[in-house]
């Protein structure tokens, strides 16, 4: 009977959500999680669901995927909260994408035009209009794009609820369990090894974030091209006097820094994040903290007096084209769900739905077909 089960390598939001969906459908599932906090993107993230604010100029299919997942969020959250009785801090605040300098404004206008071309619901605001929407914005903010469709969750509450959901539905979460090897038999997976113990299963899902390409036993030609992209992040404690209610996003042209400030229900204001190609390093740096604090202070001067609750760095799993790697592989029974880069939290409902569907029915949906590992081969 154990041979029937699905083994999931990685207990971030991707692995847990797939596990939860499978367990709900009656499938045997074991999720292996090495360390919830240590550098993991799901833990370090700010829980932004912001495909509109993040629109750039090369990635319309990825944008559509994000919008699809965003649309799935209300039902996904309702189901998860009903299953577990745990709130995940889903907030439909909207994002104010703000600019200060002339260069910022030129960039903002360019983005705005592109958003409009894509048919997205966004609005151009002058400084005063932006401050009317978020009174904590500083006087330096000269214009903004209002993205009402962008939302957020509390990423840590989401991780916790998914873990509960998985276990309530009959799945198993093995915490502190580092998968040491993918165990193969000819061209199909047989299971995974953790220390001395081999767990057998019908399928293995690789959802180990930026560590996905490093799993021993994985044949070289199947290694997903994911790399760590370091993000430093600061959590501030909001006070009664300084409590913004809108997510503010500031692409600071002069320093090529993109900073968001996301107020959370629990009282944290999450200020993130740098984007650094530094391998698996998770050290905080003077420059990283400086860039975040400067940008935050320029657009929300009230942050100046807020206590720093936490500083940390996480590692996003970046793929070669910034899009996730989803679906079957040339190895029987091995499924990929990794490489979500900056959009892991956003893409969770979509990934959980289509990957669990694939596992349960064998069908690869047209939605995820363009995002298979084959595109890199």
Judged by CB under 8 A, which stretch of 24-32, 70-78, 282-290, 339-347 contacts a second copy?
A: 282-290
How far is it, in rounded angstroms, from Cα 100 to Cα 251?
9
**237 vs 365, which CB is nearer to a second copy?**
237
Residues in contact with a second copy, total (CB under 8 A)?
A: 21
Q: What region does 339 belong to: left with phi over 0, alpha with psi -120 to 50, or beta?
A: left
Q: What residues from 323 to 362 belong to the interface with a second copy (CB under 8 A)? A: none
Per-residue string for binding with a second copy, 226-255, x by CB under 8 A?
--------x-x-------------------
**The two three-digit tokens of residue 230, written as one number:** 């370091």
Per-residue string for binding with a second copy, 254-273, x by CB under 8 A?
-----------------x--
Judged by CB under 8 A, which stretch of 113-121, 287-295, 341-349, 356-364 contacts a second copy?
A: 287-295
User: Which one-letter DSSP state was computed for residue 173?
Assistant: E
**37 vs 308, which CB is nearer to a second copy?**
308
**92 vs 294, which CB is nearer to a second copy?**
294
Contacts of 189 (CB under 8 A, 6+ apart): 182, 183, 201, 203, 204, 331, 332, 333, 334
**229 vs 331, which CB is nearer to a second copy?**
229
State the Cα angle at 69 between 340 and 271, rounded to 5°. 60
DSSP string of 207-225, one letter each residue: --GGGGGG-TT--GGG---
Residue 47: CB minimum distance to a second copy, A: 20
Angle of the 155-168 helix axis to the 13-24 helix axis, nearest 10: 30
294 binds a second copy (CB under 8 A): yes
Q: What residues from 296 to 325 belong to the interface with a second copy (CB under 8 A)? A: 296-297, 303-308, 311
**154 vs 291, which CB is nearer to a second copy?**
291
**218 vs 236, which CB is nearer to a second copy?**
236
**86 vs 275, which CB is nearer to a second copy?**
275
Determine the distance from the C-alpha atom of residue 356 to the mean position of all C-alpha atoms in its chain, rounded to a whole number.
Answer: 18
Task: Kindly report the backbone phi and psi dihedral angles of residue 309, in degrees, each rounded to the nearest multiple of 5, phi listed first.
Answer: -90, -35
**The two three-digit tokens of residue 199, written as one number:** 């767990």
Q: 335: which strand partners?
A: 205, 328
Cis peptide before 350 (omega within 30 of 0): no
**The two three-digit tokens of residue 212, written as one number:** 């996905």
Angle of the 155-168 helix axis to the 60-84 helix axis, nearest 10: 60
118 binds a second copy (CB under 8 A): no
Question: Which one of residues 110, 280, 290, 376 is an interface residue with a second copy (CB under 8 A)?
Answer: 290
Judged by CB under 8 A, which stretch of 108-116, 133-141, 246-254, 294-302 contacts a second copy?
A: 294-302
Residue 371: CB minimum distance to a second copy, A: 35
- The tokens 């290694």 sit on which residue? 223
285 binds a second copy (CB under 8 A): yes
**Which residues contact a second copy by CB under 8 A?**
234, 236, 271, 283-287, 289-290, 293-294, 296-297, 303-308, 311
């Amino acid at each position: 009977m154990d041979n029937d089960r699905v083994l999931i390598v990685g207990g971030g939001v991707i692995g847990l959500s797939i596990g939860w969906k499978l367990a709900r459908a009656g499938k045997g599932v074991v999720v292996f999680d090495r360390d919830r906090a240590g550098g993991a993107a799901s833990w370090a993230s700010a829980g932004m669901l912001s495909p509109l604010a993040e629109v750039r100029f090369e990635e319309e299919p990825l944008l559509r995927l994000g919008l699809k997942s965003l649309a799935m969020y209300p039902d996904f959250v309702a189901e998860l909260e009903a299953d577990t009785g745990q709130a995940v801090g889903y907030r439909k605040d909207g994002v104010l994408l703000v600019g200060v300098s002339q260069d910022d404004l030129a960039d903002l206008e360019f983005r705005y035009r592109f958003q409009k071309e894509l048919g997205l619901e966004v609005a151009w605001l002058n400084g005063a209009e932006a401050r009317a929407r978020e009174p904590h914005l500083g006087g330096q903010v000269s214009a903004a794009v209002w993205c009402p469709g962008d939302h957020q969750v509390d990423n840590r509450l989401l991780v916790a609820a998914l873990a509960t959901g998985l276990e309530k539905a009959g799945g198993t979460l093995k915490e502190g369990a580092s998968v040491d090897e993918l165990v193969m038999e000819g061209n199909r997976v047989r299971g995974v090894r953790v220390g001395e113990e081999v767990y057998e299963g019908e399928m293995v899902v690789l959802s180990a974030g930026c560590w996905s390409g490093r799993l021993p036993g994985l044949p070289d030609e199947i290694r997903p091209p994911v790399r760590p992209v370091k993000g430093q992040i600061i959590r501030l404690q909001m006070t009664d006097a300084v409590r913004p209610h809108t997510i503010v996003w500031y692409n600071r042209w002069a320093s090529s820094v993109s900073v968001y400030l996301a107020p959370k229900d629990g009282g944290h204001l999450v200020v993130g994040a740098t984007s650094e190609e530094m391998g698996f390093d998770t050290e905080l740096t003077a420059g990283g903290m400086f860039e975040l604090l400067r940008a935050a202070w320029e657009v929300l001067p009230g942050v100046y007096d807020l206590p720093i609750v936490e500083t940390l760095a996480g590692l996003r799993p970046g793929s070669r084209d910034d899009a996730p790697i989803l679906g079957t592989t040339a190895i029987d029974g091995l499924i990929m769900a990794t490489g979500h880069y900056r959009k892991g939290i956003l893409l969770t409902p979509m990934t959980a739905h289509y990957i669990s569907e694939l596992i349960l029915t064998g069908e690869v949906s047209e939605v995820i077909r363009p995002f298979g590992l084959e595109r890199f081969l």
